Amino acid sequence: MTDHDLRKSAASARFNESVKDPACANPPASSNKRPKDGRKARGRWAEQVAEDYLKSQGYKIVERNWRCRTGELDLIAMQGDIIVIVEVRSRSAHSAAFGTPAESITPRKIKQVRDTAAVYLHLTSKLDAKIRFDMIGIVMRSHGDSEFFSESLEHIVAAF
């Protein structure tokens, strides 16, 4: 085996390793209790609120926190025959004064989500599927150090 073959094989292995099994990435069921690891915990809480909202609207959740080498897709849902990629953004009520959750999505983030969605569609052999990119923005407040509450939720269909 040549050096080129070894490098190619190693690169392929890294790519395959980078695609995590989404079933392993799912956190436990919804809870108002705030986990103790800060910003990521608030993000997970907001993703659970968004997932619960989508289910209440008739969406079927297919994946949560799907990861690959290009990034992460917060939620992947089905609405009829449309694959809906959902970017979840959250802000505390205090920091919302500096902009809404929707305003925090940059052109770079949009490109990353689109690139990651392309990898997902390729790996799942769904290249011909109808796809839409939504955004759910959540403004939250906390009660003490133990609980979060959703102050508002905005669902932007076909956000980008």
Secondary structure of 8-53 as H, E, C letters: HHHHHHHHHHHCCCHHHHCCCCCCCECCCCHHHHHHHHHHHHHHHH
More confident residue, 29 or 94: 94
How does residue 100 score in pLDDT terms, banded at 50, 70 and 90?
confident
* Total domains in the fold of the chain: 1
Strands (E), the chain: 60-68, 71-79, 82-92, 130-143, 147-156
Q: What is the CATH number of the domain that holds 147?
A: 3.40.1350.10
The per-residue pLDDT for 99 is: 81
Q: Is the residue at 134 inside a domain?
A: yes
Asked if residue 73 belongs to a domain, the reply is yes
Backbone angles phi, psi at 42, to 5 degrees: -65, -40
- Across the range 111-117, mean pLDDT stands at 98
Lookup result for tokens 């209440």: 56
The reported pLDDT for the residue numbered 96 is 61
Say which residue, 101 or 31, is predicted with more confidence: 101
Percent of the chain with pLDDT over 90: 54
Q: Give the structural domain span for 40.
A: 22-156
**pLDDT confidence of 14, banded at 50, 70, 90?**
very low
